[in-house]
Structures are given as C-alpha cells and as structure tokens.
C-alpha cells in the first residue's frame, strides 16, 4: 500500500482522515489499523456519512467547512486526505451560482490555506488528488473535459445540461490542480508524486514522512 510505504505510521499513532466520509479507506484496510493499533478519527462535514463511520467502529468529528484553521498545531500524528482538496473551493451553497472566472482564483486561495492547515496540524501527512491533465475528468467522467478552455460559465452550464442525461452527475465545486500548483501549496512535503496510467498523469500525492 502506497500510504503505508510513504508515510510509515508508527504503532498507536492517531490518524485524522480528513474528509473521510464513511471511513471507507480505513474500513477496507482494517487489518492495517489493527496491526498498528492506529486510532483513526474520521472528520467530515456530512453527519449522515459519519453515522456510517461510527457504526464501523471509528471515532468521528463533524466539521464546519472552515473549521480546520482553528485546530491545534501538531494535533495529529498523521493527516490522511484522499480526493478531498479539489473540492475545498468556495461555500457549497454558492457553487452553481459562481459562474465568473474568479472562481478559480478564489478556489486556489482556499486550497492553499487548506494545505497550510494540513501541514500545521500534522506531523506527517498524505494528500491525494486527481490530476487536471488526465484525459478523463474523474468527477464527470467526460473525455478530455479539461482540454476545453477553462470557461467557468460554460463549465456550469454544461454540467447542468449533462446532469440530466449523462451517466455520471456531479457538482461544479471542484478545482483540479497540476503538479506545479500542488507542489506550491505543500512546501514542506517530503516529495510530490505523480501516479500515471498509460503514461498519463492520473493522480498527485503530497506526503511528509
């Protein structure tokens, strides 16, 4: 497992699964949790998902969208954040109405602050996100979706239409990053990795071990 190889969690460490929803990752890897006697805390903004995580035996924490900045520095041994940071952009109740190009600037500023908080509250971290340069956009499943000009107005209108007919519906709350942008917001990372499929950059990983 790449997370285990890169971060090397020590026995009895506390892991914050940030945006972990129902705790699926660590539930699927429960042997790892038991072997290392890890204390896993699932943090998310959705209470229904956290109820499932609780039934799976995890500690849970219901967060507000902007609550991370108030957490104590070094509070967790490890922060694990899988396919979440691309959704940390603007308030969820505004994403369908935000059609101006300033969405991307605001989104990136929010992501930068989120990344800084991850670095601050953790001793070690593992953050994964889909890469903007992959030919299939992971949220909409649209071929070469980001090969089109980054026109926010067209982006929102297209998703409104496609959500009625396309096999995969989605919400336009995400801002995908390239490798340089991802490295810029995680200056203390041990390394930035790019996992590829058929030569194409599929996902980016920032970690500190």
pLDDT in tens, 3-36: 999 999 999 999 999 999 999 999 999 998 999 9
Per-residue confidence (pLDDT) for residue 74, from 0 to 100: 95
In a domain, 89, yes or no: yes
In a domain, 168, yes or no: no
Contacts of 47 (CB under 8 A, 6+ apart): 62
Per-residue confidence (pLDDT) for residue 186, from 0 to 100: 98
In a domain, 197, yes or no: yes
Average pLDDT, stretch 117-134? 96
Distance CA(169)–CA(31), nearest Å, equals 34
Per-residue confidence (pLDDT) for residue 145, from 0 to 100: 63
3-class DSSP state for residue 142?
coil
In a domain, 144, yes or no: no
In a domain, 80, yes or no: yes
Q: Residue 130 sits in a domain of what CATH number?
A: 3.40.50.150
| Per-residue pLDDT reduced to its tens digit, 68-102 | 888 999 999 999 999 999 999 999 999 999 888 89
If you ran DSSP here, which 8-state letter would residue 139 be given?
Answer: T
Output the average pLDDT for the chain: 93
Number of domains in the chain: 1
Select from 144, 139, 141 the least CA-distant residue to 129: 139
If you ran DSSP here, which 8-state letter would residue 100 be given?
Answer: S
- Which tokens in the block code for residue 147? 């090969």
Per-residue confidence (pLDDT) for residue 81, from 0 to 100: 98
User: Domain limits at 34?
Assistant: 2-134+174-208
In a domain, 36, yes or no: yes
Per-residue confidence (pLDDT) for residue 167, from 0 to 100: 92
Give 142's pLDDT tier (boundaries 50, 70, 90).
Answer: confident
pTM surpassing 0.85? yes
Per-residue confidence (pLDDT) for residue 69, from 0 to 100: 83
Distance CA(84)–CA(121), nearest Å, equals 17
What percent of the chain shows pLDDT beyond 90? 82
Q: How many residues are recorded in the chain? A: 209
In a domain, 81, yes or no: yes
In a domain, 155, yes or no: no
């Amino acid at each position: 497992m790449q997370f285990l190889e890169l971060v090397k969690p020590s026995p009895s460490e506390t892991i914050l699964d940030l945006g972990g929803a129902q705790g699926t990752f660590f539930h699927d890897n429960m042997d790892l949790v038991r072997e290392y006697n890890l204390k896993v805390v699932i943090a998310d903004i959705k209470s229904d998902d956290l109820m499932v995580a609780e039934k799976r035996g995890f500690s849970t924490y219901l967060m507000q969208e902007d609550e991370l900045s108030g957490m104590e520095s070094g509070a967790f041994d490890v922060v694990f954040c899988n396919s979440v940071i691309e959704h940390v952009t603007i308030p969820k109740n505004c994403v369908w109405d935000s059609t101006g190009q300033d969405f991307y600037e605001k989104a990136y500023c929010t992501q930068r602050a989120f990344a800084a908080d991850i670095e601050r509250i953790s001793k070690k971290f593992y953050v994964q996100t889909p890469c903007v340069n992959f030919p299939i956009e992971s949220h909409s499943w649209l071929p070469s979706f980001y090969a089109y000009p980054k026109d926010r107005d067209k982006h929102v209108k297209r998703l409104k239409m496609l959500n009625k007919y396309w096999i995969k519906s989605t919400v336009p709350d995400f801002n995908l990053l390239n490798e340089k942008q991802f490295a810029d917001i995680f200056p203390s990372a041990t390394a930035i990795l790019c996992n590829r499929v058929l030569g194409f950059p599929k996902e980016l990983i920032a970690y500190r071990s």
